[in-house]
Every structure is written in C-alpha cells, then in structure tokens.
C-alpha cells in the first residue's frame, strides 16, 4: 500500500464512487505544483496507490479529484467540477489517508486511518 491513499463515497447515493481520476501533487520549492502520479478510484471508490509510486518527504501535498467526469456519467449536475485537498506531510514514515465524502452540491474531507 502507498504512503498516501484516498477513497470517495458518494453520499447522495450512499455508495462508493468508482472511476474518479485522482492526481497526486507536491508543492515544489514553495511555488509550483509537481505532479507525482495519478490513479482511478476502484469499484470500492478507493485509490490504494498512485503510479508511479513516490517516496514521501516532508512538505505540502494535494490530491485533485476530477468530480466533473464522475457526475456527468451519473447524470448529475456539476457544481464542483474538481475537488482539491491540500495537506501537510510532517512525518514521511506515516500513512496518510484522505477520504472524500461527495455529493453534487457539497463535499467534506478529513484525515483517515
């Protein structure tokens, strides 16, 4: 399992959200974002690793969820076409899990386990 994982639950239907493109990025030198990898959520709405796999270092990271494509496939309105969750990695040896609770007009996130 990767050091950074995530999952998406579509709270409007109470089910996992498969097939969402997720991109992992790291802020480089406090300026631009550098792409580290990408993945699709699986049938259970989870990303268990990004390709290519990257060794974590301390710093600022973000996961970017392409919610527009997902909602378009579901025939739902698109209010948030993308969700970007920025977080700080203080201890690179730890596991970081980023859950996303998603609906057409809202979302929330937290540090999971």
**pTM of the full predicted structure?**
0.93
Q: What is the mean pLDDT of residues 53-81?
A: 94
pLDDT for res 28? 78
| Residue numbers of the domain that contains 51 | 4-109
Residue 54 pLDDT > 80: no
Q: How many domains does the chain have?
A: 1
> Whose structure tokens read 């977080």?
87
- The encoded tokens of residue 31 equal 């300026």
Per-residue CA distances from 29 to 50, 58, 107 (Å)? 22, 12, 29
- The encoded tokens of residue 1 equal 């399992």
Backbone angle region of 86, left / alpha / beta, with phi > 0 → left and psi within -120 to 50 → alpha: beta
Which of 21-25, 53-57, 89-93, 107-111 has the least mean pLDDT? Answer: 53-57
As a whole number, the mean pLDDT across the chain is 94
pLDDT for res 87? 97
Residues 6 or more apart in contact with residue 71 via CB below 8 angstroms: 77, 78, 104
Q: Which neighbouring-strand residues pair with 8? A: 100
Q: What is the CATH number for 103? A: 2.60.40.180
Residue 16 pLDDT > 80: yes
Structure confidence at residue 100 as a pLDDT band (50, 70, 90): very high
- The encoded tokens of residue 27 equal 């802020």
Residue 11 pLDDT > 70: yes
pLDDT for res 47? 97
pLDDT for res 1? 59
Q: What ranges make up the beta strands (E) of 1-113?
A: 4-10, 15-16, 21-28, 32-40, 46-47, 59-65, 83-89, 96-103, 106-109
Residue 71 pLDDT > 90: yes
pLDDT for res 36? 93
């Amino acid at each position: 399992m990767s050091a950074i994982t995530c999952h998406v639950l579509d709270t409007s239907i109470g089910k996992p959200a498969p097939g969402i493109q997720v991109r992992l990025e790291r802020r480089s030198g406090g300026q631009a974002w550098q792409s580290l990898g990408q993945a699709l959520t699986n049938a259970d709405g989870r990303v268990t690793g990004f390709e290519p796999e990257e060794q974590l270092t301390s710093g600022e990271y973000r996961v970017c969820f392409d919610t527009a494509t997902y909602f378009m496939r579901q025939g739902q309105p698109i209010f948030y076409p993308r969700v970007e969750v920025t977080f700080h990695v203080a201890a690179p040896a730890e596991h970081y899990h980023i859950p996303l609770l998603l609906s057409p007009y809202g979302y929330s996130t937290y540090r999971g386990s």
